[in-house]
Amino acid sequence: MKLAFVVDPLDEFKLEKDTTFAIMREAAAQGHALYALQQEDLAWHKQSVTGYAARLHLTGETPGWYRLDPPLETALEKFDAVLMRKDPPFDMEYVYSTYLLEIAERRGARVFNRPQAIRDYNEKMAIARFAEFTAPTLVTRRTELLHGFLHEHSDIILKPLDGMGGSSVFRVRRDDPNLNVIIETLTSDGARTIMAQRYIPEIRAGDKRVLVIGGEPVPYCLARTPKAGETRGNLAAGGTGVARELTARDRLIAETLGPQLTAAGLLLVGLDVIGDYLTEVNVTSPTCFQEITQQSGFNVSAMLLNKMEKLI
């Protein structure tokens, strides 16, 4: 297969944990041809969406892990698959890229994850589609509703709808003297909508990343345990990741959501589960492949590529 990866700058990859690198490495091992491009390399040109894509060769060395051929303008439908692996933030440039990729789809390009689905499934708001699996949650910009939610549940989490890696996530209790300034900061004095969730004590056992590929759960999750004195389990916030077999509840959530996610065009999804509750649905560039593979021996990248081959 000819695989085009829409990515962040290659020099910014953290090879020891980068999921896109893990997918590239497995694809190269299977004999697939790799191409790399960035958002700014996409264009709508002569009624076709093209990308200035460079053939990517993995050297197996560190540093200098890759070598690029000169980029060539190529219509995206000429690739067997285009993998949208640009990390958030999900800003307007990201949205414009999904518009271009959606046009490419109409000309025959196979894009994973599907651009419309990436737009439709906000990673925080998407849990509202599956409310039977969520803890009590409020989405609002109104201060009085946030105060009422805290009064009802006593211990809550506040977070922006466009954050990643645990950024700007606050745990707040009724007696918190900083409550008003936290709400003012997160909502920009009522101009931005945020999410509040009842605090889930099981976070101490880990914020689990459950991967769903082609509607099927990976048999192991990565439980990201917060460091001492921290509420957030995100690896970017210093959490420690431990691969574990899925619990019955994890599997129920993943298998229930799987068919709907697949029907929407979401080949790869990372569900965040704390205790028995679904807290996020990650669709932009889900991670944790390397940690799960290294600790469990299950080749997550191979599963992804095998599912992709069946779709194209």
**Active-site residue, selected from the candidate residues 18, 105, 207, 280:** 280
CA 195 to chain centre: 18
**Active-site residue, selected from the candidate residues 159, 198, 208, 234:** 159
CA 122 to chain centre: 10
> Do 251 and 244 form a contact (C-beta atoms < 8 A)?
no
Q: What angle do CA 36, 38, 44 make, to 5 degrees?
A: 105
Output the CA torsion sign for 252, 255, 260, 262.
positive
* Residue written as token pair 């779709």: 311
**Active-site residue, selected from the candidate residues 26, 105, 250, 272:** 272
Is residue 280 part of the annotated active site? The answer reads yes
Is residue 46 part of the annotated active site? The answer reads no
Residue type, 262: T
**Active-site residue, selected from the candidate residues 85, 198, 232, 250:** 232
**Active-site residue, selected from the candidate residues 209, 234, 250, 291:** 209
Is residue 282 part of the annotated active site? The answer reads yes
Is residue 224 part of the annotated active site? The answer reads yes
Output the CA torsion sign for 112, 116, 120, 122.
positive
156 vs 54: CA distance, rounded Å? 47
Is residue 110 part of the annotated active site? The answer reads no
Is residue 232 part of the annotated active site? The answer reads yes
Look at residues 239, 249, 234, 240 and name the one whose alpha carbon lies nearest to residue 159.
234
**Active-site residue, selected from the candidate residues 105, 114, 224, 250:** 224
196 vs 188: CA distance, rounded Å? 15
* Residue written as token pair 């290294």: 294
Catalytic residues: 124, 159, 209, 224, 232, 272, 280, 282
